[in-house]
Structure formats: C-alpha cells, structure tokens
Amino acid sequence: MNYNSKAAFCNGESSPNNSSHGEGSPLRSSLNLKLKSTAPTLQCPMCQYTSLSPGELEEHINRQHFDVTSPSVGHLTGEIFSCPLCIKTYDSAPDLELHVNIEHRDILSPASPSTATCPVCGISLNNDSDSEEAVRHVESHFPAGSPIQLDRAAIKEREQREFEMLRAQYGMDNQGNFREQSVTNMQRAVYAGEMSVADYYERTLGLKAAESYGIDDGSSITRNMVPRVRALSSNAQNVVRTLTCTCVDHYASSYGDRGWGCGYRNAQMLISSLLTHTGYNERLYKLWQGQKPPRSAVPSISRLQNLIEQAWANGFDVQGSEQLGSRLVNTRKWIGATEVVTLLSFLKIRCQLVDFHRPTGPGGTHPELFRWVLRYFENSVGGEFVAPLYLQHQGHSRTIMGIEVHRDGSLVLLVLDPSHSPQQMAQIGDTTTGSSALRVLRKSESAMKAKQYQIVAVVGFIDSEHQYQQSKILRGLRVPQDR
C-alpha cells in the first residue's frame, strides 16, 4: 500500500516508465502530519480549536481541514530576526542572541574551555556537570512563558503528538475498530442528548446485523446524487457545460469511522456506481463468496478490510501489505489510493493510478489535474457508463463525480466528501437551498493546493490470467512526466 494517506503522500519517485511496486507513488513516505502547537493543550494548527484528546484533534483535522487549500498565513508585521544557523525566528535581537548562545554553542565555540559561562548572569558553569542542570540554570532567569522555554515545550509536545498520530494512522494505537468506535461514539451521543436511547438500541442492532453480513447498514447514504447535481449545475448562469459520472451515492463518515474511514467511504462511493453496470456488478458480486445478498449491496468497512487482506494474501501490492503488517481487520488503519487499486484489481476490475506529483500552475495549483479530469469525462461522453474518480491527497480522500466548464474557460470539479453529512447532501435536492448547497461540492483550482494528488480511474476489466498477474504489481502514471 502506498500511503498518502492513508491518507498521506509518499516522496518516493519512479521513472516516467511507470515503476513497479508503486515506487512512483507519492504515498509511500510522506506520512507524518506536520502539527504545531505552542500551548500545553493540543491545538489545531489551522484554527483555534483545542482539545485534550489526540484522537479528538485527529478527528477534527480530518473532518474540518481535509484539504490545506489556502496559503500559509503571512508573517506578522514588524522586523523578524532569523537565526543564521537554523530556521527559527525571533521578534527581538536579544532573544535571537540568547538562542544562538545556548542552542549553537558547540558550533560557535567548538574548542570551549573546561568551564562555561552563563550567558545571562555570567557565573561559571562546569562543563562536566549535567547539561540538563546547566540548561535549567539558564532557563531559571526567564519567566515560565518565555520564548525559549515555550520553544522547548512546543517541540516536545509536537513530537509526542506526531508520534501518536502516526501510531493511529498505522492502526497501532489500540483504540479499537469500527464496531467498538461506533458503540462508544453512539453512547456519547446519547449522553450529549444528540441521540435517543431508542435510536441507540435500534442503531446498535442494525450495526450488529450489518457487521454479521458484511453489508453497509445504509445509515450514512444519500442516494442518486447525479441527477440533482447535474440539474443544478446545468441551470447555473456561469456554467456552459457539465460533465458527470453515470451515477453515484454519497457515503458520509459515521460514528464508527470518523477520523480514519474516508478511504473506505470513497471506495463505497465508487462501488455504488460500479454496481449499476452489469459487467462490473458481476465482478463485484463474487466478493460475497457464496452469500446471496441483494445485487445492490455495498460491502461494509469491515468487509472491505477483509477483502484487501485477501488481496494481499494473493500477492497483490506486497510492499503495501508489508508496510501495514498485512493486517487491516479489526483495526482503524487508514487506506489510500493504492488499497483501492489493490481491491478492485483483486476483483478483476482494471484501474489506472495517476500521480500528480507536483503543482503545475502558479501559487501551488494543479491545472494539469483539472485538464486530465476534463479529458476523462469528455472521452466518456456517449459511452454507456462513466465511473466517478477516487481522489487522494495527504490526510484525506474524496470522490470526483464530475466537472464544470465555466464561461470564462475555468474548470471546477464536482467533489463528494465523506466529511459532509447526509443533512448537507439532502440540501442539494432542496429547490430552495440547492444552488447554495452546491457550493460545498465545487472545487476550483485555487481550492486544490495540496502538494500532491492521486487519482484512481476504473478503465475496464482484467480478462486474462497474464493481466491478472501483472496487476499484482502497482504501476502509476506520473503527471507531468518530467523526472
């Protein structure tokens, strides 16, 4: 599996000739989430939200900040003093001088004498004594909230939080699975007055049945998105052309997968579309392995985890399997684009994995991605079936259901996001709020500024044994093919 996301991207590169084992995917190594905090509580690096729970902060970031779409906040006005030896900056020259004297003492004075001097009070400090004791002496000259002490505390806090987030990303935090998280969060909803006791027991029974049969319980579905979106988009004054997939249902994150399940939910959206096509339906129906569910049944998250494990056991994406310990069932491990390719290839559905490995426009934009999506839907015009596209970037994934061409020539993606609730999706079908609600689906170039993206496109069937064996090695197309 390549992790971009696990939603995270990887820095590994491949040649333009589509390297094997997914080495061209940006999902393999860029897994750490760059969080910053200067307070003892856990604070979101993108807004003022704070929490004492790493899990709640993780959920907040995935749900509220799934795409870093705006440039970093500019520097505050006033002179900034940058350290010449590292990347830190300070608001005053004395703070910078103190930082250099303490943090870079070994560089400035490599042949230091046997005694050192406190840079604040001037007393001699024995180099043979505990370095931590010397640091404590220097820090004793400053109030608890001084920049130096806050820097140290922030670094320690950030490292611990990043470690915990990575453990969660790889499912090593022992925080349970889909069923356990569902029950826990529904109990919290009852305590908070967001769910009645009767609803709790009804949902619990439905969850048990769904997990038993491996079929999604349908609690987060908004069906038939395409007709409503196409009607609203086509009637917009500034839209000259609207191209969409044939059909798709929206699957929202639920009590059991908030904070980690976006990859599975987008896989369900893609499967919901494929099930309406006779050929793809036949391939997907084989996943039930002797069970006789309805032909329209969409597998649950737990069943998807089991299927990906089966694909790994059959030799698909060996590197990705090893990276996740060959285990997904009963974990909260994230999946990304490569797991979706692995799943569908295992079911003999042919996919194309496209890596948009760097911005191709001004301001960190991706015009090549938009043009590629336009060609995909244009080439499908007149065809009997067009599947949606699975879209992955660092920390999150979504589903592209279509694209708009505006009068000024600009392109706007129509994107379904698991973090949007069924209530938000229902508004799109409301004649009074539909036009404004459609804004949550529209993504212009300026709103798509992640460093890297991946797209999974369904492009046909795997018909021969040779093709099936070849599909076990993940290959991606790099756009642009400049290195």
For 292-350, the pLDDT digits (tens) are 888 899 999 999 999 999 999 999 999 989 988 899 998 989 899 999 999 999 999 99
Residue 373 near residue 386, CB atoms below 8 Å: no
Q: Which of 226, 318, 309, 308 is nearest to 267 (CA)?
A: 308
The pLDDT of residue 29 = 43
Pair 222, 336 in one domain: yes
Residues 165 and 249 in one domain: no
Q: Is the pLDDT of residue 159 over 70?
A: no
The mean pLDDT of 276-294, rounded to a whole number, is 88
Task: Show Cβ contacts of residue 262 under 8 Å, excluding neighbours closer than 6 positions.
Answer: 7, 62, 66, 253, 334, 396, 397, 398, 418, 419
Identify whether 338 is part of a domain: yes
Does residue 335 lie within any of the structural domains?
yes
The pLDDT score that the predictor gives to residue 10 is: 38
Q: Are residues 291 and 437 in the same domain?
A: yes
Mean pLDDT score of the chain, rounded to an integer? Answer: 80
Active site residue 396: yes
- Span 427-455, pLDDT tens digits: 887 767 767 889 999 999 999 999 999 99
Q: Which one is catalytic: 262, 351, 355, 393?
A: 262
Alpha helices in 2-69 (DSSP H): 54-64
Same domain for 270 and 396, yes or no, is yes
Per the annotation, the verdict on 10 as an active-site residue is: no
Task: Report if residue 195 sits inside a domain.
Answer: no
Confidence of residue 109 (pLDDT cuts 50, 70, 90): low
Please report how many Cα atoms fall inside a 13 Å half-sphere around the Cα of residue 119, on the Cβ side: 17
Domain identity same for 323 and 374: yes
Instruction: Tell me what the mean pLDDT of segment 368-388 comes to.
Output: 91
CATH number at residue 219: 3.90.70.130
- Number of alpha helices (DSSP H) and beta strands (DSSP E) in the chain: 17, 16
- Do residues 436 and 290 both lie within one domain? yes
Instruction: Establish whether 106 is a catalytic residue.
Output: no
C-alpha to C-alpha distance for 22 and 325, rounded to whole angstroms: 17
The two three-digit tokens of residue 324, written as one number: 């996740």
235 and 169 belong to one structural domain: no
- Among 87-91, 248-252, 463-467, name the one with the lowest average pLDDT: 87-91
Output the DSSP codes for 208-225: HHHHHHTB---TTEE--H
Across 340-452, where does the E strand assignment appear?
349-356, 389-393, 396-406, 411-416, 442-443
CA distance to 215, 290, 309, 380, 479, per residue, from 462 (Å): 25, 22, 20, 19, 24
CB 298 within 8 A of CB 215: yes
> Is 205 inside any structural domain?
no
Residue 125 has pLDDT above 80, yes or no: no
Residue that is last in its domain, among 175, 198, 232: 175
Q: Which of 116, 146, 175 is the last residue of a domain?
A: 175
CB 243 within 8 A of CB 377: yes
pLDDT value of residue 238? 93
pTM given for the model: 0.66
Q: Of 165, 179, 312, 175, nearest to 256 (Cα)?
A: 179
Residues 286 and 150 in one domain: no
* Structure confidence by residue, pLDDT tens digits, 380-415: 776 789 999 999 998 899 999 999 999 999 999 999
Query: Looking at residues 467-476, what average pLDDT do you find?
Result: 95
pLDDT range class, residue 105, cuts 50, 70, 90: low
Query: What does the pLDDT look like over 24-42, one tens digit per residue?
Result: 444 444 444 444 445 457 7
- Comparing 50 with 111, the larger pLDDT belongs to 50
Long-range contacts from 432-435, C-beta under 8 angstroms, 24+ separation? 434/228, 434/232, 435/232, 435/236
Calculate what percentage of the chain has a pLDDT beyond 70. 75
- Of residues 131 and 198, more confidence is placed in 198
Structural domain for 158, as ranges: 32-67+96-106+127-175
Number of folded domains that form the chain = 2
Residue 224's pLDDT is: 95
Weakest-pLDDT range from 16-20, 165-169, 269-273: 16-20
